[in-house]
Amino acid sequence: MSLFLIVALPFFGALLPGLMNSAGRSACAGVTFTVSLAAFVGLLTNLPSVLSGDVVMARVDWMPALGLNFTLMLDGLGFFFALLILGIGLLIIAYARHYLSRDDNMGEFFTYLLLFQGAMVGIVLSDNILLLLIFWELTSLSSFLLIGYWKHLPEGRQGARMALVVTGTGGLAMIGGMLILGQIVGSYDLSVILANRDLIQADPLYVPALILILLGCFTKSAQFPFHFWLPHAMAAPTPVSAYLHSATMVKAGLFLMARMWPVLSGTPEWFMIVTTAGLVTMVLAAVIALFKHDLKALLAFSTVSHLGLITMLLGTGTAFGAMAAMFHILNHATFKAALFMSAGIVDHEAHTRDIRRLGGLRTLMPVTFVIVTLAALSMAGIPLLNGFLSKEMMLEEATHTTLFGMPWLVPALATFGSLFSAAYCFRLIGHVFLGPVRNDYPAKPHDPGAGLWLPPAILVVFVVGIGIAPFLAEPFVKLVTASVLGGEAEVPKAYFKIWHGLVPALFMSIAAVVGGLLLMAVYNPALRLWDAAPRPEAKVIFEAIVEAVARLARRLILPLHNGAFTRYAVIGAIAIVAAGLHAWISGTAAAPTRTMQPATPIAIAGWLMLVGATCGLVLMHRDRLLSLILIGIVGLMVSIGFAFFSAPDLAMTQFTVEVVTIILLLLALNFLPKRTPVESSVLRRVRDAGVAIAGGLATFTLAYHYLLRDAIGTPISEFHLANSYKGGGGTNVVNVILVDFRGFDTYGEIIVLGIAALLIYALTETLLRGPVRARLLNRKPDQPRAGDMHPMMMVVLTRVVMPVVLMVGFYIFLRGHNEPGGGFIAGLIVSIAVVMQYMASGFAWTSARLKYPYHGVIGAGVLIAGLTGIGSWFVGKPFLTSDFTYVRIPPFQEFELATAALFDLGVFLSVVGAVMLSLESFSRLARRADETDSEYPMDIDPSRDNPPPDAVQPARESV
C-alpha cells in the first residue's frame, strides 16, 4: 500500500467515528478498528521490501520553493515505530471499547485517537523535516485533546494544558533547530541531511541546532527537567495513558533522537547532554516511582525512568548503545502498555487506583494477576522475560561508558536506578495482588471480560516470547539498528542471549534485583523517610513560572492595549513615524535626479483651496455639517488634481465616489448629533496636534523625496504600456490593467466591495430587528423638516435627466477600454442616477419601481466576472486570460469585441449593486412611524388632491 495512504487513512478515518456515534458503541469502535487495521495491513504489505533492506519512498511536491515537500520514507526504523503505533493502537482501540463507560462520547474519543495515530505515523514516516515538524505539532495538539478528554475533571484539563505547554514549547524550539539544520545542509529532506554528518558537525551552528532539537525531544519524551508533565497527563482515560504515554507519543522524542543519530551523535556535546539527561531522569524517576501510591502515577514515573534509560543508551553514541535502545523500546512498549491496561482494569473493577487501598487481588483477579506479574517482572529485569535482555544490554553498555572522567559513575548510577526499578516492580505485584484479601475495596473486584484483559494478554505473549527466545527478535532489532546507524557505524555482532556468562552486567543485574527485594523489606521506614524529606513540587513551580510570564506579558501589553481606539491610533502613528525616522537617519539619500516642475498659477490656486479646506476642516470640525462640506471640497480638489496630473480615470472615479460618499455621510449625520462637544483637554489636543504634525511631516518628507528621484529599477509599467494594445486590445492602459493584466486583483476587489455592502445590509437588518427599532421609529427629528421634501422641480428634473445619465454611464462603460472610463466609473455614474430618484421622489416610490434586489445585482456581477474568467479554461488558458477580436456588422464600422468587456460588465454590476445596497440600507433606517411612506413622488400634487371622480384611491401600505 502506498505510504501516503497509510498516513492518510487515520486522518480520513477520523471522520467516521463521529458519524457512527449514533450507530452504537460497538459500531463506533468497530469502524475505528477497521481503519487502523487497514493502515496496519497496508504497512505490512511493505514488509518484504523493508526486510530486504530497501527504503520505500513516496513523494509529492508541496512547496518546493520552500523546500517543503510531502516526502515519505519507510525504512527499518520507521517501520518499527509505525508497527508499534498501529499494532498497539489496534489493541488499545479494542480495550477502549470496553473501558469507556456509557457516559463517555465514544465518537469523540476515537476521532481524537485516530487523529493522533495519523500524526504519529506521519512523524515516523516523514522524510522531510518540515513535514515532520507539522506532524510533531499535530501530535501535541491531538494529545492535548486526548489527555483532556474528560473535560469535567479539573485535573484532566490542567494536565492537558501542562502537556501542551511543555511539549509545545519544545516543539517551537525544535522548529528553530530543524531550520538551522536545513540551512546548514541546504535541504530539508532527511535523506540528504542524514548523509551530511561531517558538514553538520563542523558547522558553528551545530551546538545551537543540537540543543534546540534536543529540547524538542526531551520535552516530548519527558526527560529531566521536563519530566513533570507526564505524570499529570495521567488524568487521561487509561487507554490514552497506555497508548500515548507508554508506547507512542513519549517515544517520539526517542524516535527523533534515533533518526538524527547518524548526524548528531558522536560529539562530546551530544554525549554529555543526552547521557546526563537520560541518566538523571532514569534514577530520579525510578526513586519517585517507588513512593507513588497511585498505580498510574507509579507507572508514569516508571515510564519516565525507562525513557531516561533509552535516552542514555542513545547518548553513549555507540552502535551497541543504539541497538540496546531499539531493543528496549520494543520491550518497554510491550510490558508497559500491558501494565497500563492492567492498571486500568484494576481501576475499572476495584474503583480505585490507590495502592494503599488495594492488596490481595491475586485470588480475586487471577487473570489480571498473571498479566501484571509477568509484565512487572519483565520490567524488573527477571530472566526469561524480555525486559531482562535489554536491561542486561543497558548495564553492559553502562560499564563501558565514562562520564565526567569517572568510570564508575555510570555503572553505579545505572545499577542504582535498576535497583529502584526492581523495587517498584515488586511493590506493584506485592502491594496490589499479594497479601491478604481485604474487605474494604470500594467495589468488589473480579476479573473483567475478555475485551479488557485480552489486549494486555496479547502483549504479555510477546513479553514472554521474546524473553524465552530472544533470537526471534534479533534479526528485526538488528534491521532497525542498521537503519538507525545509517552508514555511520557497523551493526554490532553481539547476539541476543539469555546467558552471556559471568559478565559484570550479570552481577549488576543480580545486585539490582536483590537490592530491590531488600528495599521492599524496609519499605515502610523508607516511605516515612521519603515523606519527611523536603522535595520541590514540579506542578507548583511550573504554575509559578507560567503565572510570572503571564504577569509580565500583562504588564507589557495592558498599557498598550487598554481597549481605547485613540490609544492604538496614537501608538500606531508614533511607531510608524519612528520606524521611518530610523530608516531616514540610518540610511543615505541619493541626490535628486529629477528637476522640479514649475508650479502654474492654476496649480497653486488648487493647492490653496485644498489646504484651506483641510485646515478649515480641522479647525471647524465641531460643526459637523460644515465639516462635511469642507471635506467635499477636499475630495473635489483631489479629483481635479488627478485630472491635472494626467489621470482622467482617477479623476472621474474620485469625483463620482465623492458624490456617493457625501450622500452616505449625510444620511448618517441625519441620526448623529450635529455638533461635536469639546471634551479633550488643551494638553491632549496639543499632544494630538504634535502626533499629527509629526505624521504629516513624515509623509511630506517621504513624498517630496521620491517625487524628485527616479525609480531605482525600471518600473513594470513599461511592459503594460507596450502590451496594452497588442495583448489586451485596448488603448486605455489603466483600464486594460484593471480588467486584463491585473484582472484577478480586480476580481478580488469587487468581491470585497460586495461583502462590504452585504455587511452593511446585515448590520442594518440587525439594528432594525433589535431594540433600536422602536427608538428609530419613535425618533423626533432634531432639525426642522422641510415643508416640501420632494419638490416638483426636483422630481421633474431628475426624471428628465435620468435617461441622459444612464446614457452617459453606458457610453462611459463602452468606451472604457480605449478612452477614460470603464466599469467602475460607469457603475458609480449609474448609481448616482438611481440615487437621484431616491432623493427626489422618495424611498417608497423608487423602491416600488426597482425590480431587482441589489444583492442579486452584486451576485450577478461577481458571477459574470468569474464566469468570464472561467471561460478561458475552456480554451486551455489560465483563469481570466482575455481575448479580443474585431468584427464588422454592416452598416456599422468595424468594432472590437473583447472578453474583457464582459468582465468589466461584472465590475459594473458589482459596483452598482454595492453602492446602492449600502445607501439603501442607510435610508431604510430613516423611515419613521409618524410618517407613512408615500407612494407618490411629490408631497404636493394638485391632481391627487382633486382626484377625478372615477379614480380609485390606491390602498396605502402600512408600516
Partner 1 sequence: MELLVATAIGIMTAGGLYLVLRLRTFPVILGMSLLTYAVNVFLFASGRLTVGAPPILRDGVTTYTDPLPQALVLTAIVISFGMTAVVVMIALGAFLGADDDHVDDQPDTADTKPEGKA
Report 571-600 residues binding partner 1 (CB under 8 A). Answer: 573, 594, 596-600
Q: Which residue, 452 or 914, has its beta carbon nearer to partner 1? A: 914
Whether omega before 890 lies within 30 degrees of 0, making that bond cis, reads no
Dist. CA 938–CA 92, nearest whole Å: 80
Query: Binding residue for partner 1 (CB under 8 A) from 207, 211, 571, 660?
Result: 660
Q: Which residue, 44 or 669, has its beta carbon nearer to partner 1? A: 669
* CB-based burial, 576-607: b 16+ in 10 Å, e otherwise: ebeebeeeeeeeeeeeeeeeeeeeeeeeeebe
Number of other CB atoms surrounding residue 496 within 10 Å:
22
Residue numbers 600-619 binding partner 1 by CB under 8 A: 600, 603-604, 607, 610-611, 614-615, 617-618
Quote the least distance from Cβ 626 to partner 1, whole Å. Answer: 11
Helices (H), 351-385: 361-364, 366-380
Residue 481 burial by CB count (10 A; 0-12/13-18/19+): exposed, middle or buried?
buried
Quote the least distance from Cβ 528 to partner 1, whole Å. Answer: 52
Quote the least distance from Cβ 959 to partner 1, whole Å. Answer: 18
Q: In this structure, what DSSP letter does residue 923 have?
A: H
Query: Binding residue for partner 1 (CB under 8 A) from 355, 634, 880, 905?
Result: 634
Q: What is the gyration radius of the CA atoms in the chain, in angstroms?
A: 39
Q: Which residue, 547 or 745, has its beta carbon nearer to partner 1? A: 745
Region of 435 on the Ramachandran plot (φ > 0 left; ψ -120 to 50 alpha; else beta)? left
Is residue 764 within the footprint of partner 1 (CB under 8 A)? yes
Query: Binding residue for partner 1 (CB under 8 A) from 563, 713, 787, 878?
Result: 563
Q: Which of 493, 490, 487, 491 is nearest to 262 (CA)?
A: 487
Q: Using CB under 8 A, which of the segments 158-166, 203-211, 647-655, 861-869 binds partner 1?
A: 647-655
Residue 48 burial by CB count (10 A; 0-12/13-18/19+): exposed, middle or buried?
exposed
Q: CB under 8 Å to 563, separation ≥6 — which residues?
A: none
Q: Which residue, 68 or 640, has its beta carbon nearer to partner 1? A: 640
Number of other CB atoms surrounding residue 213 within 10 Å:
25
Is residue 631 within the footprint of partner 1 (CB under 8 A)? yes
Quote the least distance from Cβ 761 to partner 1, whole Å. Answer: 9
Q: Which residue, 503 or 767, has its beta carbon nearer to partner 1? A: 767
Q: Three cell numbers at 42?
A: 497496508
Q: Which residue, 26 or 566, has its beta carbon nearer to partner 1? A: 566
Residue numbers 677-696 binding partner 1 by CB under 8 A: 677, 679-680, 688-689, 691-693, 695-696
Quote the least distance from Cβ 178 to partner 1, whole Å. Answer: 39
Quote the least distance from Cβ 637 to partner 1, whole Å. Answer: 8
Say if residues 184 and 207 touch (Cβ distance below 8 Å). Answer: no
Is residue 570 within the footprint of partner 1 (CB under 8 A)? yes
Quote the least distance from Cβ 757 to partner 1, whole Å. Answer: 7
Query: Binding residue for partner 1 (CB under 8 A) from 839, 922, 934, 937?
Result: 922
Q: Which of 345, 166, 326 is nearest to 238 (CA)?
A: 345
Q: Which residue, 451 or 616, has its beta carbon nearer to partner 1? A: 616
Q: Which residue, 576 or 796, has its beta carbon nearer to partner 1? A: 576
Cα atoms in the Cβ-side hemisphere of radius 13 Å centred on 414: 34
Whether omega before 225 lies within 30 degrees of 0, making that bond cis, reads yes
Quote the least distance from Cβ 733 to partner 1, whole Å. Answer: 4
Pairing mode of beta strands 884-887, 68-74: unpaired
- To the nearest 10°, report the CA torsion of 595, 598, 602, 606: 50
Q: Using CB under 8 A, which of the segments 53-61, 527-535, 643-651, 782-790 binds partner 1?
A: 643-651
Residue numbers 702-761 binding partner 1 by CB under 8 A: 702-704, 706-708, 710-711, 715-717, 720-721, 724-725, 731-734, 737-738, 742, 745-746, 749, 752-753, 756-757, 759-760
The interface mask with partner 1, positions 822-861, x = CB under 8 A, is --x---x---------------------------------
* CA–CA distances in Å: residue 470 to residues 389, 390, 396, 457, 512: 8, 10, 17, 19, 22
The interface mask with partner 1, positions 389-428, x = CB under 8 A, is ----------------------------------------
Quote the least distance from Cβ 85 to partner 1, whole Å. Answer: 50
Query: Binding residue for partner 1 (CB under 8 A) from 915, 920, 923, 934?
Result: 915
Dist. CA 376–CA 382, nearest whole Å: 9
* CA–CA distances in Å: residue 182 to residues 201, 320, 339, 471, 618: 13, 29, 40, 39, 56
Q: Which residue, 399 or 723, has its beta carbon nearer to partner 1? A: 723
Quote the least distance from Cβ 752 to partner 1, whole Å. Answer: 6
Quote the least distance from Cβ 672 to partner 1, whole Å. Answer: 6
Is residue 668 within the footprint of partner 1 (CB under 8 A)? yes
Query: Binding residue for partner 1 (CB under 8 A) from 27, 647, 794, 902?
Result: 647
**CA 424, 429, 431, 435 torsion-angle sign:** negative
Q: Which residue, 429 or 753, has its beta carbon nearer to partner 1? A: 753
* CB-based burial, 688-707: b 16+ in 10 Å, e otherwise: eeebeebeeebeeeeeeeee
Question: By rule CB under 8 A, what count of residues binds partner 1?
Answer: 120
Quote the least distance from Cβ 570 to partner 1, whole Å. Answer: 6
Residue numbers 770-789 binding partner 1 by CB under 8 A: 770-772, 775-776
Dist. CA 678–CA 80, nearest whole Å: 75
Query: Binding residue for partner 1 (CB under 8 A) from 168, 492, 648, 791?
Result: 648
Partnered with residue 887 across adjacent β-strands are: 895
Quote the least distance from Cβ 667 to partner 1, whole Å. Answer: 8
Q: Which residue, 311 or 921, has its beta carbon nearer to partner 1? A: 921
Write out 775-830 in H/E/C secondary structure: HHHCCCCCCCCCCCCCCHHHHHHHHHHHHHHHHHHHHHHHHCCCCCCCHHHHHHHH
Query: Binding residue for partner 1 (CB under 8 A) from 4, 644, 879, 936?
Result: 644
Q: Three cell numbers at 2?
A: 502506498
Quote the least distance from Cβ 851 to partner 1, whole Å. Answer: 24
Q: CB under 8 Å to 23, separation ≥6 — which residues?
A: none
Is residue 558 within the footprint of partner 1 (CB under 8 A)? no
Q: Three cell numbers at 601?
A: 498659477
Quote the least distance from Cβ 550 to partner 1, whole Å. Answer: 24
Q: Which residue, 248 or 732, has its beta carbon nearer to partner 1? A: 732
Q: Which residue, 170 or 827, has its beta carbon nearer to partner 1? A: 827
Q: Which residue, 545 or 692, has its beta carbon nearer to partner 1? A: 692
**CA 879, 64, 143, 244 torsion-angle sign:** positive
